[in-house]
Amino acid sequence: MFEGILLLVHPAIAVITMGLIVWLIVSVKCQNINEQRVKKLSLAIALLMITIWIVAGYWYVVFYSADKAVIVKSSWSFAHKFFMETKEHIFFVVLILSLYLPIISFRNSVAKNKTAQKLIFNIGILLLSLMLYMDGSGAIISHGAEIAYMHKDGLL
């Protein structure tokens, strides 16, 4: 049961984080930028991303090896070989970019600094794009595990 909860918690936090990223993107595009909101959103995004890293990392280290062993022997081996491998590497880019957001927002007057606004906007778009890819990859990996276990159990 704990494994299932962890498997649902990290994408749920990711969806919340993506919502905050959209809010941040919209906030830096407003005519009257609320700097406090930008700072709070940037910090929340970074903290949630650290939380995802901890939860997903724990699940990956403790539980994923059993699934991986079954997936790589199945017709859906690409679910691990391509999607999990790219997801593992992309996540560190996402983590670093999210940690950069509060640095930008706390070191600059975002309302007055157009470069900081553009940087936050572009990082937000990149984060959102990469996180959507990772979410889709997670769905493919989950489906790959399901298919692999069905083959293993003789259900397919």
d(CA 139, CA 36) in angstroms, rounded, equals 35
Please choose, from the candidates 37, 54, 23, 30, the residue with its C-alpha nearest in 3D space to the C-alpha of residue 102.
37
pLDDT at residue 15, as a whole number: 96
pLDDT at residue 107, as a whole number: 96
d(CA 99, CA 27) in angstroms, rounded, equals 18
Mean pLDDT of the chain: 93
d(CA 76, CA 31) in angstroms, rounded, equals 49
b/e map 64-88, b = 16+ CB within 10 Å: beebbebbbebebebbbeebbeebe
pLDDT at residue 3, as a whole number: 76
Q: How many domains does the chain have?
A: 1
- Each residue of 103-119: pLDDT tens digit? 999 999 999 999 999 99
> Largest Cα–Cα distance in the chain?
63
Q: Which domain does 69 fall in, by range?
A: 2-152
- Each residue of 4-49: pLDDT tens digit? 787 789 999 999 999 999 999 999 999 899 999 999 999 999 999 9
Global pTM value: 0.91
Q: Which H helix or E strand runs over 23?
A: helix 2-29
Backbone φ, ψ for residue 116 (5° rounding): -65, -40
Q: Which range, of 59-63, 78-82, 89-93, 149-153, averages the lowest pLDDT?
A: 149-153
